[in-house]
Structure 1
Amino acid sequence: MTHRIGFTGDVMLGRLVDDRQRRRSIDAVWGSVLDRLRALDGLVINLECVLSTRGQQWQRTHRPFHFRANPDWAVPALERAGVDGCALANNHVLDYEEVALRDTIDHLDEAGIAHAGAGETIDEALDPAVVSIGDVDLAFVSFTDNTPEYAADEESPGTAWIEMNVDDEETRRRVQDALERARETDPDLLVASLHWGPNMVTEPPESFREFGRWLVEAGVDLIHGHSAHVFQGIEVHEGAPIVYDAGDFVDDYAVDAELHNDRGFLFEASVTGDGTPTELRLRPTEIDGCAVHEASPDAAAWSRDRVRELSAEFGTSFDRDGEALVLPLDE
């Protein structure tokens, strides 16, 4: 039996999204994509905000943006979309200090939504999230190289922060620790969710490429990258897809007229019962009115052309199925 597991880029539910959601239905943030999300067997996102009404904006270092969503609507919205797991290792989980991070974790736990990449200590942040999707057990770990001041340590809450460099000894030790914990859960599918690199960059640096391939060689079945706010190319290494950046899925960000950070994809991995990925399907999406929608024909064509161009340097080519692109993984 094949299962379809969705992966998205940044889901930022704060600021104007939060404001609009107070005056519209809980489902509205998912726009015309809601039915497609609900039809998936599983869904993993990068949650780019905290779920809390408490806390003060981080002031210990300069932070230009602070993202916080009211859990009264945001948690039910995640539930309505069928979100199974949230990557929390990113540069916004301490935007409203430790109390809001703790609230976020508590709300996700109460909703039964798995999470990885942040916690009360670095030990908790390294723990994998485990999700059962039909007869497939998925485990994912989450890391970031953004905002080192948000890093957890042995005594303080925060993120699973690392240098995304295979030559860094501490990075290798920390990642291998997390992967070993994940393998101890005996997963069918092992995913690494990485919030890496700066904004508005269209290609991963060579160090990220080396890091991604190293993770695959260490047993990771799929790499779920994000952070740039624009999607990047996809590489297949030893049969495993490396989504270097999934772009943005929903937010209120200003749109760059050339890079089109409002355009992206819902990434759907088809996985067999033993956890083997057989294809990756890219369904074009578009952000409008602080909600995510199926992309217009022109936007979809632009995104398809762009991801083909960015992926060509990795030797990656796609088939076409309607509005979607399909990347076979079992050839």
Structure 2
Amino acid sequence: MPRWGVVVLCLTGDVMTGRGVDQILPAAGDPRLWEQYATSARHYVALAEAASGPIPQPVDFSWPWGDAIRVLDELAPDLRIANLETSITSSDDFQPAKVVLYRMHPGNVACLTAARLDACALANNHVLDFGVSGLRETLDVLNHAGLGAVGAGCHEEQAWRPVVLTAGGHRVLVWSVGSASSGVPHTWAAGPDGAGVAFLSEHSTPDTDALCERVRRAKRPGDIAVVSVHWGSNWGYDVPRAQVRFAHRLIDSGVDVVHGHSSHHPRPVEVYRDRLVLYGCGDLINDYEGIGGNERFRGDLRLLYVARLGPTGRLDQLRMVPLQSRQMRLRLATEEDARWLQRILHKASRGFGTKVEVAPDASLLLR
């Protein structure tokens, strides 16, 4: 039954279905890599298997989502919005200056439709890993699959155009923007006649003003506005003041949800003027299993964010479902791991006046 006036959004961090994840799917692409430490994407499959055991191959398209599919079916959000951090292409036009390159074969797009995503944010530091030809193919594949691509385009106007969704009797406008602080090159900015991403700097007042003006021009009474922003470093819980100012400015200008991502683990959550700010959702799907070096951040633990918004866009409830990645598949986290995440996120968020509690079902709730 429609919940008129209420909008329930599922928001995810980075969905990185390229490289190793692509290799275990039915239409695995060319495994060649141009990395300093690996020449084949199969290397990352081997690392995951060494860490957690054999992965049956090829897996079903829904395999990487695992228990997240059941969680989504049970919580039944109106809309599902993810940061898709990979190109979807068979292009070999790789970017020689990039250290890490992600691509998923177009034949594996069913991995995304399996989760019934409504919008894929593309303004990030991997969507152009295989050049403009790779970006164009990515956009074509997503459009043909009925997945709302936003934040990248064949020209500036397309890259900055929000995707318009509907839920609860509202229009839900979603913008996707990428910042240099997350590694998005300035040269990837879309131009009047050049393909690229919606690029800005959270340190730039003119960039912020321009985005706020776009929101003001597009938003009508009753609309819900979401800005999905790829910003910041990969590790650590500190949030730079520039990002806080940027998020607050967006909300002051009419944005209802700031959906931040880029960090490989969850970062603080804030409620500002009754609006939700996620400073870093952490990764949801990737091929990092078995890679050492940052174990203290527990990158194997993931969160699925489900936000219930009232008719005016104010946050009524935020539920965060803890998951763990094993064998490149999401599984419900144990209660012990859920409590570890609660302690970390509560400590990181308390400077923003936010409290995080463990619910009886072991999900996390904002208080």
For 2:174, the aligned partner's letter is F
Quick check: 2:267–2:278 contact (8 Å CA) kept in 1?
yes
In the alignment, what sits opposite 1:57? 94
Count of residues paired in the alignment: 322
- 1:11-22 counterparts in 2 under 5 A? 11-22=15-26
In the alignment, what sits opposite 1:109? 143
Quick check: 1:37–1:82 contact (8 Å CA) kept in 2?
no
CA distance in 1, matches of 2:217, 2:286: 33
CA distance in 2, matches of 1:70, 1:245: 27
Quick check: 2:222–2:311 contact (8 Å CA) kept in 1?
no
Shift of 1:177: 4.0
Q: Quickly say closer, same or farther: Cα 1:276–1:315, change in 2 above 3 A.
A: closer
Quick check: 1:263–1:287 contact (8 Å CA) kept in 2?
yes
1:224-270 deviation digits (Å, cap 9, x = unpaired):
00011121111111000110000000101235211112212100011
For 2:175, the aligned partner's letter is V
Quick check: 1:21–1:29 contact (8 Å CA) kept in 2?
no
1:62-119 deviation digits (Å, cap 9, x = unpaired):
211110011212x222212110001110001110011111111111111221122111
- 1:228-307 counterparts in 2 under 5 A? 228-253=263-288, 254=291, 256-273=294-311, 275-307=313-345
- Report the identity percentage: 30
In the alignment, what sits opposite 1:323? 362
Shift of 1:19: 0.5
Shift of 1:296: 2.4
Quick check: 1:263–1:285 contact (8 Å CA) kept in 2?
yes
Match of residue 183, structure 1, among 219, 234, 244: 219
In the alignment, what sits opposite 1:28? 63
Residue 204 of structure 1 aligns to a residue whose secondary structure is coil
In the alignment, what sits opposite 1:135? 169
Q: Quickly say closer, same or farther: Cα 1:273–1:241, change in 2 above 3 A.
A: closer
In the alignment, what sits opposite 2:77? 40
CA distance in 2, matches of 1:112, 1:183: 23
In the alignment, what sits opposite 2:232? 197
How much is the aligned-residue C-alpha RMSD, in angstroms? Answer: 1.7
Consecutive unaligned residues of structure 1, counting only runs of 5 or more, are: none
In the alignment, what sits opposite 1:123? 157
Moved more, 114-123 or 291-300: 291-300
CA distance in 2, matches of 1:314, 1:130: 30
CA distance in 2, matches of 1:238, 1:64: 40
For 2:236, the aligned partner's letter is V
Quick check: 1:118–1:159 contact (8 Å CA) kept in 2?
yes
CA distance in 1, matches of 2:205, 2:346: 35
Quick check: 1:136–1:274 contact (8 Å CA) kept in 2?
no
Consecutive unaligned residues of structure 2, counting only runs of 5 or more, are: 27-57
Residue 249 of structure 1 aligns to a residue whose secondary structure is strand
CA distance in 2, matches of 1:76, 1:241: 31
Shift of 1:134: 4.4
In the alignment, what sits opposite 2:36? none
In the alignment, what sits opposite 2:38? none
Quick check: 1:127–1:181 contact (8 Å CA) kept in 2?
no
Quick check: 2:14–2:282 contact (8 Å CA) kept in 1?
yes
TM-score, structure 2 normalization: 0.83
Match of residue 127, structure 2, among 93, 105, 112: 93
In the alignment, what sits opposite 1:155? 193
TM-score, structure 1 normalization: 0.92
1:15-46 deviation digits (Å, cap 9, x = unpaired):
11000123111111111111122433210000
For 1:327, the aligned partner's letter is L
Moved more, 146-155 or 39-48: 146-155
Match of residue 171, structure 1, among 185, 190, 207: 207
Q: Quickly say closer, same or farther: Cα 1:273–1:262, change in 2 above 3 A.
A: same
CA distance in 2, matches of 1:121, 1:201: 34
For 1:308, the aligned partner's letter is H
Residue 114 of structure 2 aligns to a residue whose secondary structure is helix
Quick check: 2:9–2:308 contact (8 Å CA) kept in 1?
yes
CA distance in 2, matches of 1:267, 1:240: 15
